[in-house]
Chain A
Amino acid sequence: MNVHFKLTVALLGGIVADLRRPHPFAAERAGFIGCKVSRCRDGLLVLAHTYMPLPDDWYADDQRFGCVFNSHAMRAAMQFALTNDASMFHVHLHDHKGFPWFSRPDIRESARYVPDFWNVKPMLPHGTLVLSADAAAGLCWYPEINKPIRISRITAVGFPIRFLGGSF
């Protein structure tokens, strides 16, 4: 299945600005993006609408990892999903140029918490994104498919249109 993730240039700018803010102890920040989905002729569209930044005190101080969010974060994200009938995508930033990819801990932890969103919204896909300074990558968990699907295309829609990852 082709998965095409889209967000506006303005939303992307807001997300990157938030993720670049220094944190008292976490090496990296993270957030959640609330999305809607739609089928299209060649696959699935994931359409980002709302960015949920994580307040400073929703992080856990764990020096083994760059970013660990606590149960407040997960509860808030789940509530957003429920209230807005939204697909939820975790997002964080590797602030370098070029295509990013998930670290092994990213993949291991994503596989644990992303499917938890099915507890509130079992019929929707959920996932995770990693951004870089000029590109992005993502994984999508589709209902009833155990393994995540690599997001084929990530597009920031605006002037200009920016193809951040996948087939470009």
Chain B
Amino acid sequence: MKTIHIRQSFLGERSHELFTGVRIGVVGLGGGGSHIAQQSAYLGIGHFAFFDPDFLDFPNLNRTVGATLADANAKTPKVAVAERVVKSVNSDAEVWAIQTEWQKDFDSLRACDAVFGCLDGFSQRAQLEESCRRAMIPLIDIGMDVHKGDPYSISGQVVVSMPGLPCFRCVGFIRAKDLDEEGRRYGVAGGNPQVVWSNGVLASTAMGIFVQMLAPWCPIRSGSRFIGYDGDGFTLEHDSRLTVASQTQCTHFTSISDLGDPFWNP
């Protein structure tokens, strides 16, 4: 174990080997994903696949961890910023910086051991979950919302989609009516207000859940698969919807034909 990781040795003798050997995918390197990239690097993760077609600009500088004024001026690709952050901590890390929509590089996504979804919109989340389930990849989704009102209100969630266990639809995180409403709207559902501190809380929680998946330091609590964030009261709680779904099998991803490549050709 490298000296820089000595303080996390309580995670087990094999933890460093595990972190070094896994590949994580981070889909979306904006407000949430940039935190994930940074923390993963510090943790000692050895292999990364970053997906984002977007680039730094002044409107997104307020929350993209690791980005600088120079990046906003130069319109540096977000994946390049994330790669730089990782390499500045671990020069041995392997980074696939994929500056395109994740849907254009399924091969790279499928090579991941776990994926963090840091996207806007239910349709994107549903598609990412379907692709991860096809490749039997655990997906940890994070997201925050600023609700317009008088006063404004901040909330968010961390939701885990683990193959074999209830999915986003099972726990009511993704609903048909949300997908329908989004589908009828023109263009993408992005551009929501975002702030760095809430993204930080959610990303850190997601990282903790990921570490527990890999190198649990205590018994895993089943409730830690759907965590709701109250950004006004600064609390994180297990979402009660998970309790309802936790006793049931997933009813959406059940068929053998939903695994693998439907157009397989050697």
Residues of A within 8 A of B (CB): 6-11, 34-43, 45, 47, 49-50, 84-86, 123-125, 142-144, 155, 157-161, 163, 167-168
Given known pairs A41-B107, A161-B213, the reply for A168 and B17 (CB within 8 Å) is: yes
B164 and A11: CB pair below 8 A?
A: yes
Number of interface residues of B (CB under 8 A): 35
User: With contacts defined as CB atoms under 8 Å apart, how many contacts are there between chain A and chain B in the complex?
Assistant: 101
Cβ of A58 to closest chain B Cβ, rounded Å = 22
A155 contacts which of B113, B212, B222 (Cβ < 8 Å)?
Answer: B113
Q: Closest chain B residue to A123 by CB distance?
A: B266
Q: A158-B164, A160-B216 are in contact. List 5 more A-B contacts (CB 8 A).
A: A37-B264, A40-B108, A123-B265, A157-B163, A160-B214
The answer, yes or no, to whether B135 is at the interface (CB within 8 Å) is: yes
Residue in B108, B110, B212, B261 with the greatest tally of chain A CB atoms within 10 Å? B110
Q: How far is the CA of A45 from the CA of B133 in the complex (A)?
A: 13
Q: How far is the CA of A42 from the CA of B49 in the complex (A)?
A: 12
Cβ of B16 to closest chain A Cβ, rounded Å = 12
Given known pairs A41-B111, A123-B266, the reply for A157 and B261 (CB within 8 Å) is: no
Residue in A38, A49, A124, A163 with the greatest tally of chain B CB atoms within 10 Å? A38
Contacts of A84 in B (CB 8 A): 256-257
Residue in A11, A144, A161 with the greatest tally of chain B CB atoms within 10 Å? A161
10 closest residue pairs by CB, A with B: A36-B260, A8-B164, A40-B110, A36-B259, A38-B261, A40-B111, A41-B111, A41-B107, A49-B256, A143-B266
Cβ of A118 to closest chain B Cβ, rounded Å = 11
The answer, yes or no, to whether B220 is at the interface (CB within 8 Å) is: yes
